[in-house]
Copies of this chain bind each other. A is one copy, B any other.
Amino acid sequence: MIISMRPHATREEIDHVCERIREFGYKVHSIEGEERVVIGVVGIGDVTACLESLEATPGVERAVRISAPYKFVSKEFKKERTQMRVNGLEIGGEEFVVMAGPCSVESERQIMETAESVRKAGARILRGGAFKPRTSPYDFQGLELEGLKLLRKAKEATGLAIITEVMSDRDAEMVAEYADIMQVGARNMQNFALLKSLGKCGRPVLLKRGMSSTIKELLMSAEYLVAHGNSNVLLCERGIRTFETATRNTCDIAAVPVLNELTHLPVIVDPSHATGKRSLVPAVARAAVAIGADGLIVEAHPDPEKAISDGAQSLTLEQFSKLMQQLRPYIELWKESRQAETAGAVV
């Protein structure tokens, strides 16, 4: 951490800051510039408390954190990509993983038909919400336990792994019985009670980036999961909120290489929520493969027009199947690049 003092800070103010830093157990290293004094804080451990304490102390202009506030999720902590085995599938390795399915589980027929179809098209994981976070209290809130049971049925029939959302720490245990991957929705990315409970759920967690969360905050929420015992975390870019209204969200596609520089965790892109519009999904999906994501999570539905939720951004099963074909050559290029990386080649 670096504390920069105001240009006319008094000697007392400077001394006071140094004293405070030492009280926190750090060493002080001050630099007398032409205009102001800058104080380096040297030591081990998290400086958040010290930083917050000092940033409004008299004479202080600014306190700047140097070291990242996350640890276990950082590439400095672990260089190799985190790989996790889910239902026989390796995520984070040399296979590009596609998750697909409806926004909500609506009926046995709907989920079974979808599961069969997306499996045939090449998806390996079935998505489908049993608990639905809805902006309005009057909208469909999900089939809950019944939805979970239908997902299990679809898994038994198709062999697909299941990913589904959990919305409350109260439900974590129940959802974990049915899901292969627990999904944390964008609105719950900083629901810390939920994150803590998922630290102990024994299942990989797909953590969706909050719609106004920075990449750093996403990593801090992942750090919650790891710090509470769960190191199988998948990060998901699903679009952020900006001033642009032509799309439902703004897909921050560069978050993928940024995350690849900062963390060893796999990164999944959700082109459905990122755009909110069916016709844009294939283009963004291609971009996600090309930029080096580890996988996709895509909404698909037998009859999107009659979907209870997110119809506008769901592909039909036929469209999903076409998308998978269209992605094939891009996924080939992706594999070559991933294998070259594993082989130690400079990419």
Interface string of A309-345 (1 = CB under 8 A from B): 1111100000000000000011001000000000000
Instruction: Indicate if A187 sits at the interface (CB-CB under 8 A).
Output: yes
A226: nearest chain-B partner, CB-CB: B137
> Do B280 and A212 have beta carbons less than 8 Å apart?
no
SS class, residues of chain A in contact with chain B: mixed
User: Looking at the complex, which of A53-61, A80-88, A94-102, A115-123 is the stretch in contact with chain B?
Assistant: A53-61
> Do B215 and A246 have beta carbons less than 8 Å apart?
yes
> Do B52 and A135 have beta carbons less than 8 Å apart?
no
Interface string of A252-296 (1 = CB under 8 A from B): 111111101100000000000011011110011011111110000
> Do B133 and A190 have beta carbons less than 8 Å apart?
yes
Instruction: Indicate if A112 sits at the interface (CB-CB under 8 A).
Output: no
Instruction: Indicate if A168 sits at the interface (CB-CB under 8 A).
Output: yes
A312 contacts which of B42, B56, B190 (Cβ < 8 Å)? Answer: B56
Known interface pairs A40-B33, A258-B280; A312-B168 also in contact (CB < 8 Å): no
A195: nearest chain-B partner, CB-CB: B137
- As for how many copies of this chain the complex holds, the number is 4
Known interface pairs A228-B137, A253-B251; A38-B190 also in contact (CB < 8 Å): no
> Do A212 and B192 have beta carbons less than 8 Å apart?
no
Instruction: Indicate if A143 sits at the interface (CB-CB under 8 A).
Output: no
The residues of B that contact A178 with a CB separation of less than 8 Å are none
> Do A170 and B192 have beta carbons less than 8 Å apart?
no
Interface string of A41-72 (1 = CB under 8 A from B): 01110101100111111000110101101100
A246 contacts which of B34, B190, B216, B283 (Cβ < 8 Å)? Answer: B216
A190 contacts which of B187, B245, B274, B292 (Cβ < 8 Å)? Answer: B187
A20: nearest chain-B partner, CB-CB: B305
Q: Give bound CA distance, A192 to B168, whole Å.
A: 9
Known interface pairs A139-B49, A246-B215; A2-B38 also in contact (CB < 8 Å): yes
> Do B245 and A257 have beta carbons less than 8 Å apart?
no
The residues of B that contact A250 with a CB separation of less than 8 Å are 240, 242, 250, 252, 254
Instruction: Indicate if A244 sits at the interface (CB-CB under 8 A).
Output: yes
Additional pairs, 8, CB under 8 Å, beyond known A137-B228, A330-B330: A7-B76, A49-B140, A53-B311, A62-B66, A69-B138, A283-B291, A286-B290, A287-B288
A-B contact pairs, 24 of them (CB 8 A): A2-B64, A4-B66, A7-B76, A8-B76, A31-B42, A34-B44, A52-B311, A55-B311, A56-B279, A56-B305, A133-B192, A167-B192, A168-B170, A168-B193, A191-B191, A212-B243, A215-B244, A242-B243, A253-B284, A254-B274, A254-B284, A257-B284, A287-B287, A287-B290
Residues of A within 8 A of B (CB): 2, 4, 7-8, 20, 29, 31-36, 38, 40, 42-44, 46, 48-49, 52-57, 61-62, 64, 66-67, 69-70, 76, 133-141, 167-171, 187-188, 190-194, 210-212, 214-217, 220, 223-224, 227-228, 240-247, 250-258, 260-261, 274-275, 277-280, 283-284, 286-292, 304-313, 329-330, 333
